[in-house]
Structure 1
């Protein structure tokens, strides 16, 4: 054997021996992500969703084939639970059951399910992960999504909640910066979203609430900054309510129809901006009392029976511009009621229309 060939063989042997003694934790630290399939007829990896979820590792996908699954599913890992061709979770065999429970710090994505006949469609009580529920419908539950005391930046999107006993989303005392978008709440017994006494900064966008037993969004007692965009509330008590709140609010493209009041706030300290809104209400378009934040209303149409804007005993500047206020009651109709307001008012290019209108400033 010549010297050059011997040197090459020695080098190869050295490399092999080096790889042989490298710990597995160093040689390869990542586990390949897997897709675990579920079909109740036995043709997939698992017959039950929970069995597949229990076997999945963080980063894996559990893919559920069409069918009706009578299960309660609990997720403890950062997995994707998906039903590409739609699957049904049915809780009719449980007493006070929960369709999907997200636990602790888990950050799963749940997509493509119809969840029906549970006490809670999705429960994420006290979680601190950034979970997501998308393209999912919850029907005939006590509460659609139950997520009080959560601190994660969770997301509900492209979803629907219908025919609930109480609220569509119940998320009181949360502290995360969560988002609800592209979601419909129909025939919910309580609020579309009940998020009272919460402190995060939130966004509600492209949401429809139709026939709620209370309000579209109730954010009373909150301290976070809110953004509401392109949202419609029909046949409810109030479109947006924020009693005793301190955050700043930006509300754009809000439509409220066939409801008692469009927007309600009192004893609040944040600044409010309402623009490009249409409020067609039975009683009052905008109700504000004993507030200390500045107000801006612009490019807004208010059609109400009793009062267009009620702003009694407010303590900050108000600007109303490029807007129309119509009040239809034959007696005691007030377009803009700003009695006892302690700061300046500005009405710019505002049309106030009523058969017997009284503007108090």
Structure 2
């Protein structure tokens, strides 16, 4: 009898060891997927059993009950996070659980470029991969209302940067992040403004920064150009900046700015109207924001592009005309 029970014990032990080995093999065995990449969406509030069923529902070759019991056995079943995931070839039950617990969602990114206007931003959002187009078809006014800024023009209100987002997340949520980023950058710049700045508010600084952004891409010239515009504002001289005129022309601008365009009055024509335009004309970056609130101190009232990316600055109209002849007309 003793031998019988000993044999039974040994057989049971072997069965347990075999089961353990099988389980160890299973959790390290790659899950068969129907495609190289498979999307998995876990909604908030989904139970561990529901997560296992969602994985199986993607077509992955795994039994949901086994996967559920693996979640339970690991002790991490309640740590699984909701989100959008990508299952890739080579994924095992063990690595799958690690991904779900760490919340390693599938992400994409979009770049909002310094100097872009809001039409360009909306076009980029529309083309962004796996970004839900909740803003599509919404007029600018309605979109800004959704963002909590009713009555505010969207131009220049979003900070240019690279934004990472989860697959199938909302483009409105991404714009909210970009708007808050601009709020922070603008607040910091305004707090660091020069004492004698001829600007009344942070909004005016944003407008000036957008003009500086469009006037030059050269870091060394930003503060110098901001200084020219600050000098003009102090004496009541029109800003006469071509980028604002072009912005006012909108989609009618064909790439060639003509004399009649400079004379065509719009709210953004800084040749026909004094002071700053009513809104920004583009998204300024951090450097342009700082240049607008800390302009260079000089007496120049004019500048002209040299043709090599730099600008030539002049204190008088006569000097400026000579510089235009030299750098623009080759005389």
Mark yes or no: TM-score above 0.5: no
Q: Larger Cα Rg: Structure 1 or Structure 2?
A: 2
With normalisation by structure 2, the TM-score equals: 0.26
* Structure ranking higher on relative contact order (CA contacts 8 Å, 6+ apart): 2
TM-score between both structures, scaled by the size of structure 1: 0.24
Higher helix proportion (structure 1 or 2): 2
